[in-house]
Amino acid sequence: MDKAQWLDELAQGLSDHGWMSFDITPWLGIELLRSLQHEIIVLDQNNALKSAGIGRGSAPVRDRSVRRDKIAWLQGVTSPQLALFDFLESLRVGLNQRLFLGLKHFEAHYATYHRGDFYKAHVDSFQGRASRIVSLVLYLNDHWLPTDGGALQVYSRENQSEAGGLVLPEAGRVALFMSEEIRHEVLEAHRTRYSLACWLRQDEIALPLSALSALK
Ligand SMILES: O=C(O)CCC(=O)C(=O)O
Ligand SMILES: [Fe+2]
């Protein structure tokens, strides 16, 4: 299969079911996967990931009953991040060509869920702001077992309370889904769980309100 055919499959999966899961290793390459894995482990060891908020703007709410992951936004400064950004750009263009989503850019963050951490069921777009259109989560863990917890529970597009599938966060596995349509949840992890979450967006990144008032 060449990359165009692969992109056809992704577009088909997104329009038929709203989500899909697959192994991205053949497209990303094992070396890039290992480099990204290495980056997040080092960031975690250096306490460089911070508690994630809910919503965006000047004061994202940090509610530990909803989500407990720690995150670090990718700045695209290291060579693995640049290589990943190249890949995400080709995905953005490929999906636009096939699904006419008007995706303008992407953002990505590393996330660590330590033992006991979870993210309750949610959709990925902020209320009143249709900005995140496609979500892609890349997992970075070796030898993940079902008993390690931490699976991504995906709910069905047609019935948001019906389970649609379970994705184990094994290195190279990806969950790809429509940000607004697919409800999903990270089940409690029983060991440290590394991942990289990306969003393809229609808008430009909005400035926080406080920054806008400074522009007046
Ligand atoms: O890590 C995952 O499997 C999903 C994370 C997630 O839902 C999010 O960051 O919005
Ligand atoms: Fe999410």
**173-178 vs 50-51, strand pairing mode:** unpaired
Contacts of 174 (CB under 8 A, 6+ apart): 21, 22, 23, 24, 136, 137, 138, 139
Residues 216 and 200: their CA atoms lie apart, in Å, by 29
The response to whether residue 197 sits with its C-beta less than 6 Å from ligand 1 reads: yes
Residues 144 and 149: their CA atoms lie apart, in Å, by 9
Q: Per the domain annotation, does 61 fall within a domain?
A: no
| Nearest residue (CA) to ligand 1, atom 9 | 197
- With the most atoms of ligand 1 within 8 angstroms of its CB, the residue from 21, 135, 201 to mutate is 135
CA of 211 to the centre of ligand 2 (A): 26
Q: What is the CA radius of gyration of the chain?
A: 17
Q: Per the domain annotation, does 122 fall within a domain?
A: yes
The response to whether residue 136 sits with its C-beta less than 6 Å from ligand 1 reads: no
SS3 at position 19 = strand
CATH number at residue 114: 2.60.120.620
Closest ligand to C-alpha of residue 140 is 1
Contacts of 49 (CB under 8 A, 6+ apart): 43, 70, 71, 72, 110, 111, 112
Please, which pLDDT band fits residue 138 given cuts at 50, 70 and 90?
very high
Q: Per the domain annotation, does 58 fall within a domain?
A: no
Report the nearest atom of ligand 1 relative to the CA of 113. 1
Comparison of pLDDT for 37 and 212, the residue scoring more: 37
Give 150-191 pLDDT, tens digit per residue: 999 999 999 999 999 999 999 999 999 999 999 999 999 999
Directed axis angle between helix 30-45 and helix 79-99, to 10°? 120
Q: Per the domain annotation, does 201 fall within a domain?
A: yes
The predicted complex's ipTM stands at 0.99
Residues 196 and 141: their CA atoms lie apart, in Å, by 11
Q: Per the domain annotation, does 190 fall within a domain?
A: yes
CA of 215 to the centre of ligand 2 (A): 31
CA of 115 to the centre of ligand 1 (A): 16
Report the nearest atom of ligand 1 relative to the CA of 122. 7
Q: Per the domain annotation, does 80 fall within a domain?
A: yes
Domain extent at residue 99: 3-52+66-208
DSSP string, 39-102: HHHHHHHTT--EEPPBS-SSS-B--TTTB--EEEE--S-SHHHHHHHHHHHHHHHHHHHHH---
Please, which pLDDT band fits residue 216 given cuts at 50, 70 and 90?
very low
CA of 214 to the centre of ligand 2 (A): 31
Report the nearest atom of ligand 1 relative to the CA of 52. 9
Q: Per the domain annotation, does 173 fall within a domain?
A: yes
Q: Per the domain annotation, does 60 fall within a domain?
A: no
Number of domains composing the chain: 1
Give 57-98 pLDDT, tens digit per residue: 555 667 889 999 999 999 999 999 999 999 999 999 999 999
